[in-house]
Amino acid sequence: MDVNDNHESLLNSPLITKKICRPRLVAKDGRCVLQQTGTPHPYRSVYRNWFHLIIECNWRIILCVFASGFIFTWIIFALIYYLIVLPDQSSRGQKNEKCIANVYDLKTAFLFSLETQHTIGYGFRYVTDACLPLVFILSLQCIVGFFMQTMLSGIVIAKLLRPKKRKQEVRFSQVAVIDSIADTDRRSVLMIRIADIQNNLYIAEPHVRLYMATSKINKNGERELADFKDMNVGYDAGWDRILLLWPITVKHLIDDQSPLFAMTPDKMHSAYFELIMTVEGIVESTGMTFQARTSFLPDEILWGYRFRSMVVLNEKIGRYEIQYKLFDEIEPIDEINLKTMEIDDNNDGYESSRNISGFI
């Protein structure tokens, strides 16, 4: 059966047949889908953060800005030079010829502007010492051209170094599952699978966070964001600092400190909350940080399933293989306890397993 068909069959399982329409805060691909209204001075941020806004644009817009920036300065100064040589063209005044040699129309003025800004220096068109104000304009174009080239080159370099594509290579599972910790420990854990599909460019210092956003109906009958909680994925033991050399499964122990504690499948299905997971890291090649995000609604949390193992040993070549076709594959398990397991105070292994959140 195809992987996508498997996802649809799982999401249409009897546990979640009646889907509730819930708006998202974060889309599955990590985009924030909040809509801002009533912000003071909405246009002020445009000119204050214009550099970052341009970097956020796609490459077609950036290349158009890059080309139009140079062309605009060429044309502006070409018009200035043309206005200098324009008077009395019929008589070809000697003064104008002494100001700029061999510039007599708009075409030659544009060529002179281009040669000046990029210091081509053909030598055929040049400024004489007959017009001192023209020397100031020439110096101004050199300064403006240098600034324009630095600024536009900085935009292109910042766009190239931006780790947007790198974070898209961090893949999250389509669903989260709730399973027991082990065969000998029937406490429930929430599991989410993460993988870095880039083979050669590894992520330095990756760490993961998990949050729960809940909403409620206020006295006016409007649904509003009510609470935002941090869910433990092993912070105390340092398990939030993950290793993404191969796909891992991040675990959250559903204990008395968990916002999912004492929830049943029916309660979870009717609840209004959203789990938001973030992965932050540093791109080794550029040293720039990035954050990948995704979210899970109650309909995307499946009880009584676990992820299939996808890192297996190939005995023919003597190496472990990562089978990405199994990334979203899950399998049912025996019925798990819907509440946190009571552990005897005399159990010596309780302290060592108290914080079982982390990753595997």
pLDDT tens column, 266-292:
888 888 999 999 999 988 877 888 889
Helix or strand run (H / E) with residue 126: strand 126-127
Angle at 354 between CA 351 and CA 359, to 5 degrees: 130
According to the model, what pLDDT value does residue 199 have?
75
The whole-angstrom separation of Cα 127 and Cα 141 is: 13
According to the model, what pLDDT value does residue 244 have?
86
Task: Please determine, for residue 326, whether its predicted confidence score (pLDDT) is greater than 80.
Answer: yes
The residues of the chain that CATH labels 2.60.40.1400 are 3-29+171-359
Could you tell me which residue, 145 or 18, shows the higher pLDDT? 145
As assigned by CATH, the class of the 3-29+171-359 domain is mainly beta
219-243 mean pLDDT: 85
Displacement of CA 139 from its chain's centroid (Å) = 42
According to the model, what pLDDT value does residue 187 have?
80
Task: Please determine, for residue 174, whether its predicted confidence score (pLDDT) is greater than 90.
Answer: yes
pLDDT band at 98 (very low <50, low <70, confident <90, very high): low
Calculate what percentage of the chain has a pLDDT beyond 70.
81
According to the model, what pLDDT value does residue 358 have?
58
Q: Please, where are the H alpha helices in the chain? A: 3-11, 44-48, 50-56, 59-85, 94-99, 106-117, 132-161, 164-167, 265-270
Question: Which phi and psi angles does 320 have, rounded to 5°?
Answer: -75, 140
Task: Please determine, for residue 347, whether its predicted confidence score (pLDDT) is greater than 50.
Answer: no
223-227 mean pLDDT: 86
120-147 mean pLDDT: 84
List Cβ neighbours of 135 (8 Å cut-off, separation of 6 or more). 127, 129
According to the model, what pLDDT value does residue 131 have?
76
Task: Please determine, for residue 322, whether its predicted confidence score (pLDDT) is greater than 80.
Answer: yes
The residues of the chain that CATH labels 1.10.287.70 are 44-161
Sequential DSSP letters for 161-230: H-THHHHTTEEE-SSEEEEES-SS---EEEEEEEEE--SSSPEEEEEEEEEEEEEEE-TTS-EEEEEEEE
Does residue 201 contact residue 284 with C-beta atoms inside 8 Å?
yes
The whole-angstrom separation of Cα 133 and Cα 222 is: 67
Map tokens 């214009």 to a residue: 50
Task: Please determine, for residue 215, whether its predicted confidence score (pLDDT) is greater than 60.
Answer: yes
Map tokens 């973030």 to a residue: 278
Helix (H, G, I), strand (E, B) or coil at 299: helix
Mean pLDDT of the chain: 80
Residue 109 identity: A
As assigned by CATH, the class of the 44-161 domain is mainly alpha
The whole-angstrom separation of Cα 175 and Cα 170 is: 15
List Cβ neighbours of 142 (8 Å cut-off, separation of 6 or more). 116, 117, 119
Query: For residue 83, which of 72, 96, 92, 93 has the smallest C-alpha distance?
Result: 96
Q: Which pair of tokens denotes residue 317?
A: 């070549």
**Helices 106-117 and 132-161, axial angle in degrees (round to 10):** 60
Does residue 236 contact residue 257 with C-beta atoms inside 8 Å?
no
Q: How far apart are the first and last CA of the chain?
A: 27
